[in-house]
């Protein structure tokens, strides 16, 4: 007993974490009364004087209820789990980070404790096992989480009331919140075609995890191109380095392209710099379109045309989460979260 106090008069002095039993003893009531009072179920059951005594005792002891015990008794926890992608992680843009923060705040206001689970070893069902141990009320799988139908099944069997995915395509059994990357690519393609460009290069980053986004974006550009005759779409892999960008710039004349969809604004900046250093004119020799519409886009010269998602409607999401938790039997729903708009500027 490494207590700091030298003289402890009571022989039984465990400075352990106080439980509701300790509160009850100090207040001179039963544990049941404490529970009723502290959970605001005391109306008409406990006299106000007793309520005050209980609250004072809890305060004095610094009582904090034990979430595990409460969860065990209740059969469910108020936890909403956000999962981390198994792959090293697609770089989470500033917009997406803000969105997550807002989402968590809204969930908190509804009484849920939202928690972002760290990365786990396995994928699919094995990862789901780790999440299921916490018996969360809901699991919201972020894009890049390898959520399989069998993982959804496992989660539901262990009592998870709602499983939702935030991502590009639905997963069987789970509610789907869709981020339509294909539409984003389509808008970029349409924009370039409307400006008379016909041979579009599309940057495909090699960064692990980003293919989740880049592949459907490319598909979107292709889809847009089929609506116009005499078009060509060329995927161009690119490392996130100056060297790779310079190499692309050197190779550009031989490619016979007239425009570029650069995956996002940061990659757009990278290649734009390389092209300019190589003596190519923008938008004269080639048009460039980015994505995300960061402040960055307006700071470049020429100013960068960029396509981005409208702000994600947090309220609708937490509404769905709440409803899904309350009525777990409702059939999985699919929601398109975003509308895509192009901010046209000088680069193409």
Partner DNA sequence: CCCGTCGCATGACACGTGTAACTATATGTG
Partner DNA sequence: CACATATAGTTACACGTGTCATGCGACGGG
Q: Is 341 in the site for a second copy (CB under 8 A)?
A: no
Q: Please choose, from the candidates 263, 216, 223, the residue with its C-alpha nearest in 3D space to the C-alpha of residue 244.
A: 263
**Gyration radius of the chain over CA positions:** 28
Q: Using the rule CB under 8 A, which residue among 38, 215, 240, 278 binds a second copy?
A: 240
- Return the structure tokens found at 83: 């999962």
**Minimum distance of DNA from residue 210's CB (angstroms):** 39
Q: Please choose, from the candidates 316, 313, 293, the residue with its C-alpha nearest in 3D space to the C-alpha of residue 305.
A: 293
Question: Which string of x and - marks every residue 30-49 that binds DNA (by CB under 7 A)?
Answer: xxxx-xx-xx-x--xxxx-x
83 neighbors 131 (Cβ within 8 angstroms): yes
Q: Is 347 in the site for a second copy (CB under 8 A)?
A: no
**Judged by CB, which is closer to DNA: 59, or 277?**
59
d(CA 159, CA 163) in angstroms, rounded, equals 11
Size of site (CB under 7 A) for DNA? 31
Question: Which string of x and - marks every residue 52-81 that binds DNA (by CB under 7 A)?
Answer: -----------x-xx--xx-xxxx------
Cβ neighbours of 339 (radius 10 Å): 12
User: Residue 49 touches which of a second copy, DNA, none (CB < 5 to 8 A by kind)?
Assistant: DNA
- Burial label for 175, CB within 10 Å (0-12, 13-18, 19+), is buried
Q: Using the rule CB under 7 A, which residue among 13, 21, 169, 311 binds DNA?
A: 21
Look at the block and give the residue holding tokens 């786990």.
120
**Judged by CB, which is closer to a second copy: 5, or 68?**
68
Q: What sign does the dihedral 242-308-204-174 (CA atoms) show?
A: positive
**Minimum distance of a second copy from residue 96's CB (angstroms):** 11
Q: Is 253 in the site for a second copy (CB under 8 A)?
A: no
**Judged by CB, which is closer to DNA: 34, or 174?**
34
3-state secondary structure of 135: coil
Give the rounded distance of the alpha carbon of 347 from its chain centre: 31
Phi and psi for 138 in degrees, rounded to 5? -145, 150
Residues 109-148 that bind a second copy (CB under 8 A): 113-121, 129-130, 132-135
Question: Which string of x and - marks every residue 14-53 that binds a second copy (by CB under 8 A)?
Answer: -xxxx-----------------------------------
d(CA 155, CA 151) in angstroms, rounded, equals 6
Footprint of a second copy on this chain (CB under 8 A)? 2, 15-18, 62, 64-69, 71-72, 77, 84, 88-89, 91-92, 94, 97, 101, 104-105, 107-108, 113-121, 129-130, 132-135, 154, 157-159, 240-242, 266, 269-270, 273, 295-296, 298-299, 329
């Amino acid at each position: 007993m490494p207590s700091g106090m030298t003289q402890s008069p009571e022989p039984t002095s465990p400075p352990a974490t106080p439980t509701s039993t300790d509160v009850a003893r100090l207040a001179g009531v039963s544990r049941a009364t404490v529970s009723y009072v502290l959970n605001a179920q005391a109306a008409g059951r406990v006299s106000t004087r007793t309520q005050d005594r209980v609250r004072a005792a809890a305060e004095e002891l610094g009582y904090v209820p034990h979430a595990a015990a409460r969860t065990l008794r209740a059969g469910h926890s108020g936890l909403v789990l956000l999962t981390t992608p198994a792959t090293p992680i697609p770089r989470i843009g500033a917009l997406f980070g803000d969105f997550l923060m807002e989402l968590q705040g809204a969930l908190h206001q509804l009484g849920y404790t939202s928690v972002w689970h760290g990365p786990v070893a396995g994928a699919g069902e094995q990862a789901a096992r780790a999440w299921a141990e916490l018996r969360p009320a809901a699991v919201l799988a972020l894009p890049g989480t390898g959520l399989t139908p069998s993982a959804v099944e496992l989660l539901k069997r262990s009592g998870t009331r709602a499983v939702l995915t935030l991502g590009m395509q639905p997963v069987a059994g789970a509610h789907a919140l869709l981020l339509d990357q294909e539409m984003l690519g389509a808008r970029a393609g349409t924009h370039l075609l409307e400006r008379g460009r016909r041979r579009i290069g599309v940057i495909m980053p090699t960064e692990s995890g980003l293919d989740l986004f880049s592949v459907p974006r490319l598909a979107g550009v292709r889809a847009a191109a089929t609506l116009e005759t005499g078009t060509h779409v060329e995927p161009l892999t690119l490392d996130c380095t100056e060297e790779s960008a310079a190499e692309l710039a050197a190779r550009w004349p031989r490619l016979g392209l007239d425009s570029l969809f650069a995956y996002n604004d940061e990659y757009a900046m990278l290649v734009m710099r390389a092209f300019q250093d190589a003596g190519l004119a923008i938008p004269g020799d080639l048009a460039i379109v980015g994505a995300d519409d960061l402040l960055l886009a307006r700071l470049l010269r020429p100013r960068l045309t960029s396509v981005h998602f409208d702000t994600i409607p947090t309220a609708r999401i937490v509404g769905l989460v709440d409803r899904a938790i309350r009525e777990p039997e409702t059939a999985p729903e699919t929601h398109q979260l975003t509308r895509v708009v192009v901010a046209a500027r000088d680069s193409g």
